[in-house]
Amino acid sequence: MTSTANNSGESAGDQITPKSPLEFSWTFWYLKPDKRTSWENSLIKLIDVAFVEDFWATFNHLATPAKLASTRSNSDYFFFKKGIRPMWEDKANEHGGRWLLTCGNQDNKLDDLWLETLLGMIGDCFSNDTDPQPLSRFITGCVVSIRNRGHKIALWLSEGQNATVIREIGRRWKAMINLPPTVRIQFDLHAENAGGPARPALYEE
């Protein structure tokens, strides 16, 4: 048998290119609500990603949000830090809230906004070197919701009290996804979404 060996004695075919680890590990989830079961039971964990290469392999394999919009209304993708369930009830979310971007039902920008949001999360782009504590520690995940009455993208935070942190994350998210200043995002608390009548947003950017 012939093989090309390098100085360490390994054959060329054995050389492994190391994968690039992400700052945090993440989990992709999918939700297709099913009236026959509870919301929680409709939630499907798809896969954990800990490396850049795995992120792209998964992302490229999934139907994009715009594609879902043409086939599966009322579904959601969730992308959350590994170990955090994408629901209000998780310890990491229960005292937090979400920045919400209402996208209307035009599908043309939806995929770009979703991808820019995901890249901001995996690239740890919410944190600056000058921050007293990295703002990425307050982010738990993001969601894209396909709805006939208007699609939505939301950024979920563990923080619901600290206005400075919340607003700065909102501003950085807007810059990251290139939202024009005229497009506004709203922040509300999960505790307020979870029950009772809708209230005005706590913050707007």
* Distance separating alpha carbons of residues 104 and 106, to the nearest angstrom: 6
Cα within 13 Å of Cα(4), Cβ side: 3
Interface with ligand MGP in residues 145-204 (CB under 6 A): 145, 147
Written as six digits, the tokens of 142 are 């993001």
Binding string, residues 110-149; x marks residues near ligand MGP by CB under 6 A:
-----------------------------------x-x--
Stretches 3-11, 59-67, 82-90, 128-136: which one binds ligand MGP (CB under 6 A)?
Answer: 82-90
The reply on whether position 69 binds ligand MGP by CB under 6 A is: no
Q: Which tokens is 180 given? A: 């024009």
39 binds ligand MGP per the rule CB under 6 A:
yes
Least separation, in Å, of the C-beta of 23 and ligand MGP? 25
The residues near 154 (Cβ < 8 Å, ≥ 6 apart) are: 98, 99, 100, 101, 142, 143, 145
Residue ranges in contact with ligand MGP by CB under 6 A = 39-40, 87-89, 145, 147
